[in-house]
Each structure stands twice: as structure tokens, then as C-alpha cells.
Chain A
Amino acid sequence: MSRGRSAGTDLALRNVTKRYGAVSALTDVSLAVEAGELLTILGPSGSGKTTLLKVVAGFELPEAGIVMLGGSDVTERPPAARNIGMVFQNYALFPHMTVRENVAFPLEMRRVPRRLIEEKVARALALVELTGYEARLPTQLSGGQQQRVALARAIVFDPILLLLDEPFGALDRKLREQMQLEVRRLQRQLGLTTLFITHDQEEALVLSDRIAVMSHGRIEQIGAPDEIYERPANGFVADFVGESNVIAGRAAARKDGLVEIELEDGARICVAGDRIPDAGAEVRVLVRPERLELASDGAAINRVAGTVVETVYLGTSYKYRLRVPGGREWLVRRPVRAGEAPLAPGDSVAVGFAPGDAHLIAG
């Protein structure tokens, strides 16, 4: 089951466009998944991620662009000839076949000798820790076990690419986290090149080598999880991935690698930025709730006075909703500490952030 493939690109989309009637589901999408990499397509429903999956799997033919798989153009190749292992959202286990028959199915289709089939099925089931369940029908398994069978069936034939279509959606939280780690472990262990589709940003951050954020049929940004979270390319990515406070204003001046920004109400804040916008340009500043500091925390440069509107206890942290000047609301997260009383609605506090904790978003 291990593959001695040389490094390189296993999946590449080049300028892929797909339309349904007048609606454009994918517009000029290009991306590459390197060998052994887990790349996540993250986007809300209707962003085109499912269409992208169907184009990769071969269930949909794109109007333009090409799909390269393991070095060859497979754009017009039928799904059966693509050698992709796919785990469906609802697992799509064959209900009339036992676990063994389900996992053996792709091998039988490839005319693998019977002895080898037995061997490979046993090994795949051992990998997903389902040895002993061979004779069960899918209906006799729990959700997590069904998922493992689907996974075993998808990897048993050494596919070039593993496609995961929101496979954790139907599991409860605890099981979901467990399965995520397990999939990640398997994927690393076997060096499986994986394309993972999800709308769950938390899941994407946990699992991915890189994330491609999609909206309206376009890829908004591709990057490592921390890059996506810390330095979102635009307002959509900032808003979709994690909680965010976005402050609009105009670039006023630059000094010492900092940009001074004038807000609508005349107040000024300082932000570190690698791209320094022209003076007068409209900019937006992103500050994550956990990067905001309460005045008592110490030296905060960019200070704003606010009033607590709501306090939410989250176990590991408190989340405060503050009303700040200009009629806006900010979210602040503070860790829970012994002996530290939480703020109550109505309390007045000053919040602020260091210039390096803010990120400048273009436009």
C-alpha cells in the first residue's frame, strides 16, 4: 500500500470553467496538489467546491480547462478510468454487500487475483482498525465504522488521489475529531495525495497542508492554514475563516514600517503591513478577537473605549461583544483564568491591539 512515487504534482487543474446554464459554477480555476499533500477546498455552500470535486472525479465535464492526474490529461476520461479513491458525504457504501465485499469491489473491478484481494482487503481493514467486521452489512455498523469502511474501500487499490467529500459532516463532535486525526495519520503514513472538500473552517485548519478558499466559483486564496488565518488575502477569506473584527478606514501616513489609518470617526490606528498602501486609499484592518487586549492587559497602542454588550462563557475562554464608537461591535476573546472575574454586560473597558497583531486587507 505504500507508494514509491517521486515527488511532483499529482493533481493539477488549469483554467477550469464549468457552467450550469447561465450560472457559472467554476470560473478559471487553477490549482495543483503536490504528491503526498493534503489540500483542502474550503468554501460555503454554493461556492463551487462540489462542482470542483465532480470535475476532478469525472462526474462532470468542464467547458474549458484541463484536469491533470498523475501527469496525464484526464479531462475527458470517465470516472472508472481515473484511479481516484473517493469517500462520499454519506459514505455510499453498497448496502447489499458486506464490509469485505465493499472493500474488495474496486480490486475485483481491476481484476486483481483473488489471493491478492484477500490480502489487500485484510490489510486495508487493519489500517482502519476494522478487522473482524468483514461479514457485517453496512446497516449493522455505526456511523464512524461506516466511514472507516468507506475509507478502506477508497485506499485499498492504491489510488493516485484520495477525494474526501465532507466525510465528517454526519458524525458527532467527539467522533469527528477522532476521525479527523485518524484520517490525517493514515494520509501521512501512506503518503496519500488528498483533496479534501469541506465547509467547516475549523476542520480545514486542523487537517490541511494547504487550504484553497473558494467563493462564487473562484479560488480566493491558497495557502498554509496559518497563512490563511493570519494573513487573509481579502475580506471574504477573513470573514469566512475564523471570527474577525474588520475596521474600515483610510491610509493616512506611513512611518517606521507602520501604516497610520484614519477611521471614519477621526480616530487613528497604527498597523504593521508588508504592503504599504497609498495615502488616502481605502483599507480594511483585520484583528482577530483573541488578538485584542483589554486595557488592563498592559501596553496597547491602538486603544478604543467600549462597553460590554454580551458575555459568553466558552469553557476555555470568554467571548465578549463590545460596542465601540461609530456604532460598531467588536468581538474579544480572553482566556479563562483563576481569580479573574469576567466582565459583565454594561462594564466599560478599553481595548486595543499591537500593530503587529492586525492585518491589512486590500480594498
Chain B
Amino acid sequence: MTEAVATLPLAAGDRVRRRHARSVLGALALSTPALVLLLVFFALPLLRLFWLSVDAGTFLPYEKALTERLYLTVFWETFKIAAAVTVLTLLLGYPVAYFLATTTRLWQFVGFAFVMLPFWTSILVRTYAWMVLLGRNGVVNRTLLDLGLITEPLPLLHNFTGVLIGMVHVLLPYMIFPIYNAMRKVDADLVRAAEGLGAPGYAVFRRIYLPLTMEGVLAGTTLVFILSLGFFITPALLGGGRVAMIAVIIEQQVREFLNWGFAGALSVVLLASTLVVYGLVHRLLRPRFAEGVR
């Protein structure tokens, strides 16, 4: 009896370790198909692209991408548009998310339908729809002209504005959902407590609600910003070749000049800057919130 008791802790520890190892292996086995898929269709092509960019044995393509004024401007423009899209989707999306998180079930259903419907429509279809709406003789301009609000058509297409409108539309759900998710987790009693302690509405928002939903805001802005950096179809079509975002340039290099090496270099720079942004957001802003939010 005493012997059994003495050996028990060791045996129990062993058993715990074995069970833990088994559950880790099990989880790994279940994710294998997805991991293989990512490896074959994402990681390998990426490596191949990287390989192509240094195939010539030099870093010349990188030198070109990082020093030539044209490409620096393109990168700058890309970041500017991504930032503008992020700010706009945040300003538009936050109130929508708040509405969805606090309204009745019926309105929630209706609201989600409105948010999801464009989400389910092909991006190409939506972009062409915007071209119909925003063109010189498009629906928007004609309506405004007929109403006498403007005397000349507004330049809405094939420029910065057009790209912005299209991208904001496409990316809005990516901003709304993470914020909505964070808002759902906010205990309504916290808002009540703040009110009860004497906080006027704006103070409740600034001191309590906004900080508690900041996690969602960060997730949404990171997502939208990173997606914006690599956006292709919308800027290609709505920009009409006049708004040079990096993805458009990469496609041009491949399709028109068959310059795989330079396209690869641009892609790697884009990927690197994306990772830098992602890393910065995590480093600078995550820790404090991860600790404070239940």
C-alpha cells in the first residue's frame, strides 16, 4: 500500500504528460490537410517568387525597387491609399458595428444582411457596378446634374476618389466584424456603472467603451490596412491605370514585361512591409489590452 502511494505521483505525472502529448499530436494530425495545402499553394510559390528575384545572382531588382523614384512613389501612394481606406472604414464601420451590437434581433438581422450582401457578391461584379455608378455619365453624376447641384460632372472614376470609394466598400465588412465582435463582449454593466458613477455619455465612450473595444478596432484596422496594401482588382479597374498601387505595378511587370525577377522583388518588399506593419501593431499596442480585457 505504502509502495503504491509512493509511486503514484510519478505515474500520474507521466500519465498527464502522455495525455498532453497525445492531444498535441491529435491537433496536428487534424490540421495536416490545411497545412499541406498552404505549403504547396502558398509557401512554395512564394519561395519560388523570391528565388526568381535573386535568380540572376544579384540584388539588382531590389536596388531598383528601393531606389528608383517611380517605385518609391508607388509604394508611398499604396501606403497612403491603404491608410485612407483604413481611416474611412473605421469611421464608417464603428457606428455600424455599434448599431449591430446593441440593436434588437430584428434590426440586427436586417443590418447583417446589408453588410453581408455585398460581401457575398463577386468583387468583380461590385467593382463594375461602381464603374456604372461613378462614371462621367454615371448614375451619381447624372442625378446630381439633374438636381442642379453641380454644373459639371464630378471626377469620380479613374482617380484616387474612385479607388477609395470602391476599396472602402469592399473592405468595410472586414472592419465591422472584428469591432462588432469586441463590442459584443463588453459587459453592459460596465457602461451602466460608468453612468452611475457620474460619467456623461462622451466620457463613457472615451474612457470605457472605446478602450474596451480597442481590441476589435486594432484587429479591424490591421486587417483592412494589410488587405489594402495588396489590393489589385478594385484599384486596377476604378483607377483606370492612373492610380498606381503596388499590386497593379507587379501585375504589369509580369503581364506586359514578363519581368518575373523585378515582380518578385516588388512582391517581397510588399510582403516585408506588410509584416513590419503587422509586427508593429502587435508590439506597440497589444500587450496592455491583452492583460486588461477579460
Partner-B contacts on A (CB < 8 A): 57-59, 78-86, 88-90, 92, 94-97, 105-106, 109-110, 137, 139, 153, 157
Contacts and interface: CB of A to CB of B under 8 A. Distances in A.
B9 interface: no
Interface string B194-206: 1111111001000
Given A97-B292, A110-B198, 6 more contacts: A79-B195, A92-B193, A96-B211, A105-B194, A139-B291, A139-B292
B231 to A, nearest CB: 33
Contact of A109 (B187, B192, B199, B292): B199
Contacts of A137: 291-292
B196 A84 contact: yes
A273 to B, nearest CB: 46
A94 B196 contact: no
Given A105-B199, A109-B198, A95 B294 contact: yes
22 contacts: A59-B196, A80-B196, A85-B197, A86-B196, A88-B193, A90-B189, A92-B187, A92-B193, A94-B207, A95-B190, A95-B294, A96-B288, A96-B292, A105-B197, A105-B199, A105-B207, A106-B198, A109-B197, A109-B199, A109-B203, A139-B291, A157-B197
A82 B197 CA distance: 9
Contact of B198 (A59, A89, A157): A157
> Chain A contact residues: over half helix, strand or loop, or mixed?
loop
A109 B196 CA distance: 11
A31 to B, nearest CB: 20
A95 B198 CA distance: 18
Contacts of B187: 90, 92
A83 to B, nearest CB: 7
Given A96-B211, A137-B291, A139-B292, A88 B189 contact: yes
Contacts of A83: 198
Nearest to B204: A80
A80 B208 contact: no
B245 to A, nearest CB: 37
Q: Which one of B187, B192, B288 has the greatest number of beta carbons of chain A within 10 Å?
A: B192
A57 B197 contact: no
Contacts of A90: 187, 189
A80 B192 contact: no
Contacts of B200: 80, 109
A142 to B, nearest CB: 15
Listed residue (B187, B193, B208, B212) with the most chain A CB atoms within 10 angstroms of its CB: B193
B164 to A, nearest CB: 33
Given A92-B189, A137-B291, A137-B292, A79 B196 contact: yes
Nearest to B198: A109
A37 B207 CA distance: 33
Interface in B170-221: 187, 189-190, 192-200, 203, 207-208, 211-212
Contact of A95 (B195, B203, B293): B293
B289 interface: yes
Contacts of B294: 95, 139
B197 A106 contact: yes
A94 B208 contact: yes
